[in-house]
């Protein structure tokens, strides 16, 4: 077992010491259990994944030049604003 020192805020130390006393445990045992619980709750990150890429889709192979697309859009807009007979 490895020995270590840690610094705790006074309030946290008092709460942990009281908790340990109520359960007849040492502060070291409470610290070990708490650290184990924390590490179980937040496991190491999973291995690196591939970088995120913008999703793409197959548009069916219909290619329309930008100029033609503008014409189609304007025609559609004009047809919508005409009253229907």
| pLDDT above 90: residue 15 | yes
Separation CA 35–CA 38 (nearest Å): 5
d(CA 79, CA 84): 9
Number of domains the chain is built from: 1
Tell me the CB-side half-sphere exposure of residue 49, using CA atoms within 13 A: 5
pLDDT above 70 (res 62): no
Average pLDDT (56-68) is 74
Report if residue 5 sits inside a domain: no
- Examine residue 36 and state whether it is found in any structural domain, yes or no: yes
Quick check: is 81 in a domain?
A: no
Q: Is residue 34 part of a domain?
A: yes
pLDDT at residue number 19: 96
pTM, to two decimals? 0.51
Residue, of 76 and 37, whose pLDDT is higher: 37
Range of the domain at 21: 10-41
- Position 23 in a domain: yes
State the angle between helix axes of 10-22 and 27-41 in degrees (0 to 180), rounded to the nearest 10: 100
Please indicate, yes or no, if residue 47 is contained in any of the structural domains: no
Mean of the per-residue pLDDT values for the chain?
Answer: 85
Q: Is residue 14 one of the residues assigned to a domain?
A: yes
Tens of pLDDT along 17-57? 999 999 999 999 999 999 999 999 988 877 777 888 888 87
């Amino acid at each position: 077992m490895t020995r270590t020192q840690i610094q705790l805020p006074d309030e946290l130390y008092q709460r942990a010491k009281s908790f340990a006393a109520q359960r007849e445990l040492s502060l070291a045992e409470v610290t070990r259990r708490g650290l184990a619980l924390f590490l179980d709750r937040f496991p190491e990150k999973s291995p690196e994944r591939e970088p995120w890429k913008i999703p793409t889709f197959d548009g069916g192979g219909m290619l329309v030049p930008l100029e033609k697309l503008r014409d189609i859009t304007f025609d559609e807009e004009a047809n919508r604003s005409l009253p229907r007979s």
